[in-house]
Structure 1
Amino acid sequence: MNTGTPRQTAPAIATPAWNLGDIAVRRVDEIELPPQTGPWLLPQATKEVLDEASWLRPDFADADVPRLASHSFAVEAGGLRIVVDTGIGNAKTRANPAWHGLDTDFLERLTAAGFPPESVDLVITTHLHTDHVGWNTRLVDDEWAPTFPNARYLTSRTEWDHWAATELDEARSQMFRDSVHPVRDNGQYDLVDVPEHGREVAPGILLVPAPGHTPGQVAVELRGSERRALITGDSIHHPVQLSHPHVTSCVDIDPAQALRTRSHLLDDLADTDALLLGTHFPRPTAGTVRRENGRYRLLAEHGTEVPPTSA
């Protein structure tokens, strides 16, 4: 299918991985988001705000704007292969020009990370936004079909019920038609009740309530035998929100609740060896949270570079 955009490929380089003991997690890249994304998404993250956290540069910010990316996390736990969030997807009709008609080699990268689509057991959707569900489906004979044919797809019941009761604009309706409903119609989407203390959905894999950005968003806690980690979803879009938690996203449905969630998660992680894994962070993606001068900062951990596999 000709999407009108050149195929976007990444060099066949090693992927970063983090070992938590009996759980392993890899970052699988889709695309780096264009520079204008930061000022649009996080309008309060001005150059002056970035300047107050010198540790953000050069990895997490350019001279004037935050850097953001779209990627998934591929997790091995309890003999299961799990994908957390599925990015923007290929060949999708999108209102955002940066997301429209993509043609990336994401599935090749996922396969090279040891997760061919047919091998995936579980897909976790932190929330039902366009850039988190895109690779839920792919075109098969001009029809949208589940990308992961043998997987169960999970999202929180609160999240599902919110969007089911919301009058959707055409852009969001299109997203549900091409990336959510085909999975539901194939009987692969499971709705999960997520109590305040979280819900274990696989060995060592917990869904944790993270409302605010959307009402039913979840973060994903990984409880390895040697270390704990937290995949943020969009409760934390960018590391600047560690030093300035009040910086909110322009698409947060409840900014005040988003701030409370972010502050709670950061307080829980601070000054521990738990790993923070940012869903939209550019590389190095991960790090530990430290309190510093009345704020938080991220001490980056690049992980282990794992060469591609033909699994």
Structure 2
Amino acid sequence: MTPLTTFRVGNALITKVPELALDTVETEQLFPQGDAQVLARAAMHWGERSFDADHGLLRQSIHAWVVQTPTHTVLVDTATGNDKQRPTAPLFHQLDEPFLERLKAIGVSPETVDLVLLTHIHADHVGWNTTLQGGSWVATFPNARYVFSEREYAYNRALSQERDAVAPILRQAGLGEPGHEPIGGVFEDSVLPIVEAGLDQRIDIDDTEIEGFRFHSTPGHSIDHASISLTSQGQTALFWGDIMHHPLQFRHPEVNSVYCEFAQAARQSRDKAMRQAVELDALVFTTHFGDSSVGRVSRHAQGFDWQFVQGVQA
């Protein structure tokens, strides 16, 4: 098993728990509205752990973050999950990954997790919310509160169960019409069972604080996407969710990924998140960057830049 890496932010220990290594991502598939050659040249700047120059492919990751504080064991997003039916997304379809074993390798069993914080409701961020037991989806972390956006919930519920409610929710969000909808089936197998079990805590994403973690509104990638920060002993960790999918977007922040639902809002939130990272001098934890997936944002005359920070072996 690949050694897990940890980072210290104040009195919090943060560990990257990998699920999938994405080493064969075509630039034109992930960023179809950009110039693939231009974007590939930008990606080369971050070296072989972010770009396979021999084959012209982007390198990414899907993982979760475990945050251990003196009082809580927290998961920020839960990756894709095993056994999920995702026929329209073959990469995510019926996985069989040793994610829970990797959690146990750092001393975290499902029963010891007491908070699950979700940046948004997409297939590769909520999948391990549930596991398949006896033909039913049950909460993987039975003693946890699962915290996520009320609007994300309402929108995904409407898409699943009440299509007439979609339009009013979109009007209220004020982001315009989406370019596409989230992958189907995710609400049914990874969110609804949590709500039916009474383990959910649905919130307004407006600097809401939960046990020292603050949710920041960064919509666009999804209807109510959030970034999440934790400040401890004067240091700040900032969990970006899907603000960006690859560091090449620092060179081309106007470019959205194919998975971003509300294009203009995603660009605006990307700019907001970069500014916030600089203002907070935050250590930024991404969900899809390759390499360590962690780094710092700096400001320069032309915009912003990214530098990876390496963790230590857990």
Same fold (TM over 0.5): yes
Name the SS for the 2:268 alignment partner: helix
User: Paired residue for 1:260?
Assistant: 268
Name the SS for the 1:66 alignment partner: strand
Does the 8 Å CA contact 1:92/1:100 hold for their aligned counterparts? yes
User: Paired residue for 1:186?
Assistant: 197
TM superposition shift of 1:53: 5.5
1:126 has 2:119 as partner: yes
2:228 to 220, 241, 247: 220
Name the SS for the 1:35 alignment partner: strand
Once the two structures are superposed, the pairs formed by residues 1-311 of structure 1 within 5 Å of their partners are: 11=1, 13-36=2-25, 38-43=27-32, 44=34, 46-52=36-42, 54-63=44-53, 64-95=56-87, 96-166=89-159, 167=163, 172-195=183-206, 198-203=207-212, 205-270=213-278, 273-292=281-300, 294-306=302-314
Does the 8 Å CA contact 1:152/1:189 hold for their aligned counterparts? yes
Does the 8 Å CA contact 1:45/1:240 hold for their aligned counterparts? no
TM superposition shift of 1:182: 1.1
Q: Please tell me the root mean square deviation across aligned C-alpha atoms, in Å.
A: 2.1
Count matched residues: 292
Does the 8 Å CA contact 1:271/1:289 hold for their aligned counterparts? no
Does the 8 Å CA contact 1:39/1:65 hold for their aligned counterparts? no
TM superposition shift of 1:292: 4.1
User: Normalization by structure 1: what TM-score?
Assistant: 0.87
Tell me which amino acid in the other structure corresponds to 2:121. Answer: L
The 1-side partners of 2:121 and 2:182 are apart by 13
Summarize deviations over 1:243-289 as a string: whole Å, max 9, x none.
21111012222111110110111122238642111111112111111
Are the structure 2 counterparts of residues 37 and 148 from structure 1 closer, same or farther at C-alpha, using a change threshold of 3 Å?
farther
Consecutive aligned runs of 4 or more in structure 1 exceeding 6 Å deviation: 168-171
For structure 2, the residue ranges without an aligned partner over 5 or more in a row are 167-179
Tell me which amino acid in the other structure corresponds to 2:250. Answer: L
Name the SS for the 2:190 alignment partner: helix
The 1-side partners of 2:15 and 2:194 are apart by 24
Are the structure 2 counterparts of residues 122 and 267 from structure 1 closer, same or farther at C-alpha, using a change threshold of 3 Å?
same
